Structure formats: structure tokens, C-alpha cells
Structure 1
Amino acid sequence: MKITINQLVNRYRGESEANEYSHFNLKHPQPLLESARELLSIVPPSMGACAPLSAAWAQMLRDKYDIPAIVVAGDFKVLGKRIFKCKTNLPESNQGGKVINKKWDGHCWIEIDGYIGDLSIFRTAYSLNHPSVLKQFVENTFGTGRGAFLAPYSDVPKGMKYEAKYVLTDKQIAGLLGGLSYQLEQRI
């Protein structure tokens, strides 16, 4: 039996947030589009930045628009080929300021009211310097120069599959935001 996104929210964020998430109604996707543009203008392109970008996007939606977006970790497939395989959830720090440096091969995105949002998949595909299923699929399906992927579940292109396995907690999101903030400060 496949676990639902609401069950994952309940498991990792608690019953109260699962209830809020499942009853939220996004009247218009404009806040998602505006926040995506803002983040993409702040964070320089890099390959494989799905977790911090998703954490920043979800937090911005919560803080600025009161939208209970969640960060999801899982597998990502293109044309039946697994591009990212998520074997474990992202690590969670128990000590403030502790740097966690572990290899993680999954993918992260946000979800809210039947929408999937992904700020890194295009950046990752375009940054590949070698032929790949991901790069070819993205270029053939979307073209070049795209920024954010945002679509209702029903409009995710055939051949592109997000498989949710985990939902990130506030501690995980805070750790990712701290790391992203540090990276942005170092570029100045």
C-alpha cells in the first residue's frame, strides 16, 4: 500500500500540521510563482541544491504568505529511469551549530494543495556537461532557460515522476536554511 502525502505529513510534522495541510486551499498559485522568482534571483545556480532551495521556498511561503507548504524528500524518475534515489531522510542535527556532512542521493521539492514545486531540477539538468536522460528530457519537454517547475499533480508531464518518501521537519529545514545562508554569505 502506497503511503499518501498526508500520512507523511502526519508522521513527520504531526497531526495538527497534517490537518492544516490537508484542509488548506490554494486559491491562486501567484504566491508560489512570486516566491520562486524571488528565490531564484537570490540564489546563484548550482547543481544539486534541491534540499536548501526547497527549504527556503517552503519557509518563504509560510512566513510571507501563510501557506503551509511542506518539503518532501524522495525519488525522482524520468522516463522510468531513477535519477535520484532517496534511501534515507536527510539528517537532523541535535546540537546547535553542528555541521553535518553526509552523502545523500535523494531529491527534494515542495508540495501544497495538489501542487508540486521544484526550484532545482532545471538548474541541475542545464548544468550537466554530458548526455543524460534528465538533460535530454528537460530540454525536449521544457526547452532551455527555465527556472522553476510548478504544476498540479495532474499536469506533471508524462515520463516525470516524483515519489514522496519523507517530509522534512522544522529542524531539518532550519539546518538547510543555515547552510544556505552561510553559502550565500561566502559568495559576497
Structure 2
Amino acid sequence: MNTRQIKLKQKIARSRGVAESEAYFGYRFHDPAPFGESAQALMREVPPSFGSCVMLSCAWASYLKDHFSTPAIVVAGDLKISGARIFKYKEKLPEPSGTGKIVQKSWGGHCWIEVNGYLGDLSIFRTAYSISGRSILKDYILDRFGPGRGALLSPVEDLPDGMQYIPQYVLKDAQVDMFTASLGYQLEHGI
């Protein structure tokens, strides 16, 4: 187990419990097709927008769990591109309060999913392509991947040079469910 995996295992245990951390690292999948199928299904349903990483990641993890019994986790953290910190995790995302109160606050981090050494990001291309003008993120994405890409799915150790996902926190089930429901509500009401 490398240093990143050890830290991730600790973050899962802290957020979701030791048993779930052990189960996550014990899971092995043999067919990556569910990732592509689920990514395409979600991207057909959700219109592109800037900064929708939390809801897209939660919806993707939920879809993988519900349709393929794949224990993907939603990870929040930092994203560095060519050494520059593009998204900086400063605090945990809100948890459901049970009051039905809407929480509105800005959040500067980034979210993605991970399972079995793979990292998946449905929002990185959409976010980069929606930036008007030049930016480190947009320039990097266009240079490395080109236009019109949909989902990033890669073994963590095979991410392109200069692209670094730094896990800081693993979302709990209640958070994943809340953000998945929020995305469903937005889609249903055209928000």
C-alpha cells in the first residue's frame, strides 16, 4: 500500500468507519464498463455547468452502488494542475440537518469518486470548457485532452503529468444521499 492509499484508508475509516474502509480496499472489480455506462447515462441527463463536482460525484457514486454494487466513495479535496492549486479544500461539505433548511455557502474544493485504485471525475472537463478566456485549468485540459471530452476515469497512478488530486475528506452516506437528491430536485425543476 502506498502513502496515498494509507492516507485514503485513514480518511475512509474516520468518515465512514473501519469496516467500510476495509471493505473498500478489499473490493476488486474486473470490468470497467460500468464506469463508462454510468458516466454516459449521467452526462446525458445533467446539463453541463461550471462547478457541479459535488452533485455529479455523489450521483455517480450512488448510481454505481445502486446499479452495479460498486462501492465507489466520494472524495473531497484539492486539485493541482502543473503545480498550481486550482481548487482548495478548506472545510467539510454540509451534512443534512433534518430541518429541511437550505444551506447556501460557497465551497472552494473539488470532488471526485474513487474505487479500487481508479479515480473518476465527471465535472473537470465541463468546468474547464465553461471557462471564458484563458486559465491554467482550461489550457491544461485543452492541451492534454482536447475539446469535447466527457468523463475522466484513470488509475490514480496513471493520471497525466501535472494533474494531482489530493484527498482531504471522504463524504458520508448522508452527504452523498443529500447531494444526489439535490441534483435530482434541480433536474426535476429545471434549476
Question: TM (normalized to structure 1)?
Answer: 0.96
The answer to whether the Cα contact below 8 Å between 1:93 and 1:100 also exists between their aligned partners in 2 is no
Question: Is residue 47 of structure 2 the alignment partner of residue 44 of structure 1?
Answer: yes
1:94 Cα deviation from its structure 2 partner: 2.0
Mapped to 2, the partners of 1:27 and 1:5 lie a distance apart of 22
Partner of 1:20: 23
Instruction: Identify the residue that residue 127 of structure 2 maps to in structure 1.
Output: 124
Percent of aligned positions that are identical: 50
Deviations 1:153-176 (A, max 9, x none): 121000000000000001111211
Are residue 100 (structure 1) and residue 67 (structure 2) matched?
no
1:79 matched residue in structure 2: 82
CA distance in 2, matches of 1:138, 1:45: 16
Whichever residue aligns with residue 131 of structure 1, its letter is R
* More off after superposition, 11-20 vs 89-98: 89-98
Q: Secondary structure at the match of 1:59?
A: helix
Q: What is the root-mean-square deviation of aligned Cα atoms in Å?
A: 1.3
Query: Which residue identity does 1:95 align to in structure 2?
Result: G
Secondary structure, aligned partner of 1:4 = helix
- Counterpart residue identity of residue 17, structure 2: G
Relative to the length of structure 2, the TM-score reads 0.95
Contact 1:84 1:105 in 2 (8 A): yes
2:128 partner SS? helix
68, 71, 75: which one aligns with 2:71: 68
Structure 2: stretches of 5+ with no match in the other structure: none
Residue number among 97, 111, 114 corresponding to 2:114 in the alignment: 111
Aligned partners of 2:97 and 2:173: how far apart in 1? Answer: 12
Distance (whole Å) between structure 2 residues aligned to residue 185 and residue 86 of structure 1: 29
Secondary structure of the residue that 1:137 maps to in structure 2?
Answer: helix
Q: Match of 2:97, SS?
A: coil
Tell me how far 1:98 sits from its aligned partner. Answer: 2.2
Partner of 2:157: 154
Instruction: Kindly report structure 1 stretches of 4+ aligned residues shifted beyond 4 Å.
Output: none
Q: 1:10 aligns with which of 7, 10, 13?
A: 13
C-alpha separation between the residues in 1 aligned to 2:177 and 2:101?
12
**CA distance in structure 2 between the partners assigned to 1:156 and 1:107 by the alignment:** 16
SS in 2 for 1:74: strand
**Number of corresponding residues:** 188
Whole-angstrom CA distance in 2 between matches of 1:65 and 1:182: 23
Cα distance in 2 between the residues matched to 1:29 and 1:10: 25
Match of 2:181?
178
Letter in 2 for 1:27: H
